[in-house]
Amino acid sequence: MSIIQDELAHAHIGYRLLGDLGVDMDQLIYERPAPQFKYPYAFDVPLNSWVELACANALYDQAGFVLLSDVYQSSTFGPWKRALAKVDKEETFHLRHGRTWLRKLAKDPDAKAEVQAAIDWMFILTLEWFGLPDALKQHSEQLDYGFKGKSNDQLRQWWMSEVVPFMEEIGIRVPAHLDPERDEYVIDCPFPASFDEDRREWLVDDGAISWDEVQKRWRARGPMNHDYVRTLQRGYQTTSLRRAA
């Protein structure tokens, strides 16, 4: 419950900043069609158990921590930087929660098998989190204007440098390893790859696909997109209540 409270507060911070800049928050949150929401595709894939929630804390919140820490360290936009001082501390709590539980679960053979099954699909999904590789990235405004300090590939490397050693520590296999000669992490499977969202399974045996195909999946959103957004918007759309002017 504390994590849910924190995440709602993080959203509130971001939307209030947009509201201060003149954006219509009601339209953005409650009236926008579900496919137009721009959160990471991974959030549209359901978590079906406590084990998967713990894995999400360990992987997704690590990604969130990496992205927001980079912004906090680099951003030239004062209101966002000040807000992230609080968000950073809370993301650390979420991440610690996930790691604490994965350490416990990994000690039990049955629970460890559940963790491995979840990591098998969630690890690659989180690799996608950081966006297109630098060689294909066409827009650099966020770097140019100082809203972030690291490129997509640099952020992906930072994330792997935190996650891969931890998974090795608790005996969970991931498709990545450190190349000591290059001093960088290497992905050990076809990437990007096709994702069977119904079975939550990567079709790595089919080989790598293009990033154009990945972007097509992102734009179509994931299996729970409409359900999640409908839940968020239902109260607003079925009552006469609106935000006070």
- Residue 63's closest CA among 142, 156, 153? 156
C-beta separation of 112 from 145 below 8 A: no
What tokens were used for 229?
Answer: 């957004």
Residue-by-residue pLDDT tens, the chain, 245 positions? 888 888 888 888 889 999 999 999 999 999 999 999 989 999 999 999 999 999 999 999 999 989 988 988 888 888 888 888 887 778 788 888 999 999 999 999 999 999 999 999 999 999 999 999 999 987 777 788 777 889 999 999 999 999 999 999 999 999 999 999 999 999 999 999 999 999 999 999 999 999 999 999 999 999 999 999 999 999 888 887 665 55
pLDDT, residue 6, reads 83
> What distance in Å separates the CA atoms of residue 174 and residue 123, rounded to the nearest whole number?
7
Instruction: Give dist(CA 221, CA 202) in Å, integer.
Output: 17
- What pLDDT is stored for residue 148 in this prediction? 82
Q: Does domain 2-32+47-177+185-237 have CATH number 1.20.1260.10?
A: yes
Longest C-alpha distance within the chain, in Å? Answer: 63
Instruction: Give strand pairing partners of 94.
Output: none
* Relative orientation angle of helices 78-105 and 2-20, to the nearest 10 degrees: 160
Q: How far is CA 210 from the centre of its chain?
A: 21
Please report, in angstroms and rounded to a whole number, the separation of the first and last CA atoms in the chain: 30
- The CA-atom distances, in angstroms, between 157 and each of 3, 38, 141, 179, 187 are 26, 23, 21, 12, 10
Pairing of strands 195-196, 176-179: unpaired
Place of tokens 């966002």: 80
The residue written with tokens 């969130």 in the block is 64
